[in-house]
Amino acid sequence: MDPLQILKLELKRLVIEALELEDTTADDIADDQPLFGDAGLGLDSIDALELGVALRKKYQLQLEANDAGNREHFRTIETLAQLVHRHTGAA
């Protein structure tokens, strides 16, 4: 498994753990599946805040609350992995 795939798997597990998605496994979340909205995983703005805290703790990722780019960064596991990779050199 390549390093980016490992990072995506870590992020899926982080989402599940941080948001206590008990009936969800990493296999249930596609890399390009929307995380928010009815068509995707169904996360909401409170989930986004909790996920931001989890990302800060695990990857020391600093996100600005009013950053217009956050919506795009949090769109999918793929976009989250790109963000983490860019800011931490992970993967």
Q: Which domains does the chain have, with CATH numbers?
A: 3-21+34-88 (1.10.1200)
In this prediction, residue 90 carries a pLDDT of 52
* 8 A C-beta contact, residue 51 and residue 19: yes
Residue type, 9: L
Whole-structure pTM value: 0.90
Instruction: Count the helix, strand and coil residues of the chain and give each as a percent rounded to the nearest 5.
Output: 55, 0, 45
pLDDT band for 46, please (50, 70, 90 cuts).
Answer: very high
The one-letter code for the residue type at 45 is S
| Among the listed residues 88, 25, 47, 86, the one whose alpha carbon sits nearest the alpha carbon of residue 74 | 47
pLDDT at 4 over 60: yes
